[in-house]
Structure 1
Amino acid sequence: MSKLTLVELTNLPRKPHGCPPEVERSWARLVATHKSVAGLFTTLNELRSAQNDPRGPISEAHRDQVRAAIVFTAAGIDACLRTLLRDSLPTLLSTAGDAHGAFVSHFMSSRLTGEMTQATKKAVVDIDPRSALIDLYVEDLAGSSIQGAADLTRCRNALGLKKDPALDDAILKGHQPFFNARHEVVHELDLVDPSGKGSRGRRHRDLAAVGAQCDGALRLLHTFIAPTARAVRQVHRDLGWDKL
């Protein structure tokens, strides 16, 4: 293995201090995703080291391992952010602040303008309209999956983290190549010409580059989780919930 450049994830940063219940599930999903993706890279390294020449040609079987890592990482992003939004927003929206401002702005500029959709009407008259509206909000923010920097930006703003320098627009846009790769793998099987015409070859995937992309994406999730945990704890203190 010493002759082989390993594809590995860096260790996750430490769990947020005093991690509140509203963030626990998202953190657990991040840890599980990190473990799964790290396992894929371990298998990749073992497959390559078993070759007669570990530095020999990279096969499609090897590249399929990193393609799987892209899919697992993307699924983890979806699960972590959707859970973080769903679990933490009820608390964050309990006080005035950036998160509440983003919530009001979203509904005033979209769902409460013009003819309301049936889903919005049902949420308004629900036995628990606040929870129903938050559920709609999460669906609007995350859709069927997180597709790229624009979705990350909406999630950041919804959590009240727009002013966080570690999540500025340039940083989020820097992760767009990962999401482009996710789209190519999930929706096009990584074919050069997914229409089926012409070349049936598959895109080249640099193993180290994919490893770095997945690692960066998972560390980005921690950058969402940690300040959200702090914000939730602050709401607990402001409302006296930490004394209950």
Structure 2
Amino acid sequence: MSEPAKSNGKSRLTRVELAELPRKPHGCPTEVERSWARLVATHKSVSGLFTTLNELRAGQDDMRGPISETHRDQARAAIVFTAAGIDACLRTLLRDSLYTLLQLPGDPHGAFVASVMSNRLNGELTKATKQAVVDIDPRSALIDLYVQDLTGSSIQGAADLIRCRNALGLKKEAALDEATLKRHQPFFNARHEVVHELDLIDPSGKGTRSRRHRDIAAVGAQCDGALQLLHAFIAPTARAVKKARRDMGWSAT
């Protein structure tokens, strides 16, 4: 989010800052601890980028002047850091929590079976699938392949978020409804443009190329929303894992 910094009652500089993360889930189980730690680390890193951006802009001779490409590069870096955090948090959340969630029948188990049957056990088996089947712990190996199928090399957009949500059994969570998840697609589009197209309007290599305009306040809002969304994944997963543990008679953590 962003807010104007004021001096003598006059707004001089729009500061870009992240909102604080909600509190860590109460009694956070071990299956969710690593994902939470990655979210906290990502939030700290992106906050630091925006702090540096604010300081650079405050040091300008004329803070009302145009925003330089150097400043916009800080915003681009924030997009990349936030996207990397999304990948790390969700991949870790899936890998660590699914082993517990899949011990019992329910939505996560149904999604797992449907995916493995259609993507891994349909037709000729891939080498990776064969290795998983004969692994000393085939269930864990298949879960690892399942996570790879869900996330790919990185989370690319709303469709991937929806698959991750369904895999965790969070389809009924109001904060993760499809309309909400689709509203984050512009953030992923921006990440693609920054990382894969170097933010060039014409990446073909022909003629004059210019960089896309990045509205710093809009970037701040996108990164902030994406990090808050990760909490919306983590908190209900923590509750689901704790419930599964109770149902199986395991210890709380």
Alignment of 1:120 onto 2:121: no
Counterparts in 2 of 1:1-244, with a 5 A limit?
A: 1-2=5-6, 3-242=12-251
TM-score by length of 2: 0.94
SS at match of 1:46: helix
4+ runs of 1 displaced by more than 3 Å? none
Contact 1:41/1:66 (8 A) holds in 2: yes
Contact 2:242/2:252 (8 A) holds in 1: no
> Measured at CA, do residues 243 and 45 of structure 1 come closer, stay the same or move farther in structure 2, by a change above 3 Å?
closer
Contact 1:192/1:199 (8 A) holds in 2: no
Contact 2:29/2:252 (8 A) holds in 1: no
CA distance in structure 2 between the partners assigned to 1:166 and 1:226 by the alignment: 11
TM-score by length of 1: 0.98
Query: Offset at 1:53?
Result: 1.3
**Identity among equivalent pairs (%):** 80
CA distance in structure 2 between the partners assigned to 1:110 and 1:71 by the alignment: 30
| Unpaired runs of at least 5, structure 1 | none
Count of matched residue pairs: 244
Query: Offset at 1:243?
Result: 6.7
Contact 2:111/2:166 (8 A) holds in 1: yes
| Unpaired runs of at least 5, structure 2 | 7-11
Q: Deviations over 1:7-66 (max 9, x none)?
A: 010000110111000000000000000000000000000000101111211000000000
| Equivalent residue letter for 1:185 | V
Higher strand share: 2
Q: Deviations over 1:80-109 (max 9, x none)?
A: 000001100000001111100100111122
Over aligned residues, Cα RMSD in angstroms?
1.1
